[in-house]
């Protein structure tokens, strides 16, 4: 009696995505665009603060302007503001240790 080798390939490691997973993946770019738009509106609201209030959160008016100039319409300018505030904070720490 002869036995032939048969292999059965099961594709168990790649489950098919559910409808909700496909929907979430399809809407992710739209959600990202909405987040960028919302952050731009919030940064516009920062222009209403005076210089002392901006300094309290580690920013200057020049930071607000450069954030818009450094980013295109579809990029998030809040990342630029976060970097500016962190760099200014680190510089102030360095100066306080140097004194």
Whether the Cβ atoms of residue 78 and residue 36 lie closer than 8 Å to each other: no
Q: Determine the Cα–Cα distance for residues 92 and 80; give it in Å rounded to an integer.
A: 18
Whole-prediction pTM value?
0.62
**Which tens digits make up the pLDDT trace of 34-91?**
999 999 999 889 999 999 999 888 889 999 988 888 888 878 888 889 888 898 888 8
Burial 50-70 (b: 16+ CB within 10 A, else e): eeeebeeebbeeebbeebeee
Whether the Cβ atoms of residue 80 and residue 39 lie closer than 8 Å to each other: no
Whether the Cβ atoms of residue 54 and residue 84 lie closer than 8 Å to each other: no
**Which tens digits make up the pLDDT trace of 21-34?**
999 999 999 999 99
């Amino acid at each position: 009696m002869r036995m032939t080798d048969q292999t059965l390939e099961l594709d168990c490691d790649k489950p098919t995505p559910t409808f909700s997973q496909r929907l979430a993946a399809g809407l992710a770019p739209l959600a990202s665009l909405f987040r960028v738009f919302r952050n731009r509106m919030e940064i516009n609201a920062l222009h209403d603060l005076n210089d002392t209030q901006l300094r309290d959160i580690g920013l200057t008016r020049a930071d607000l302007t450069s954030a818009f100039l450094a980013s295109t319409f579809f990029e998030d300018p809040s990342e630029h503001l976060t970097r500016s505030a962190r760099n200014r904070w680190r510089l102030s720490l360095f100066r306080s240790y140097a004194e």
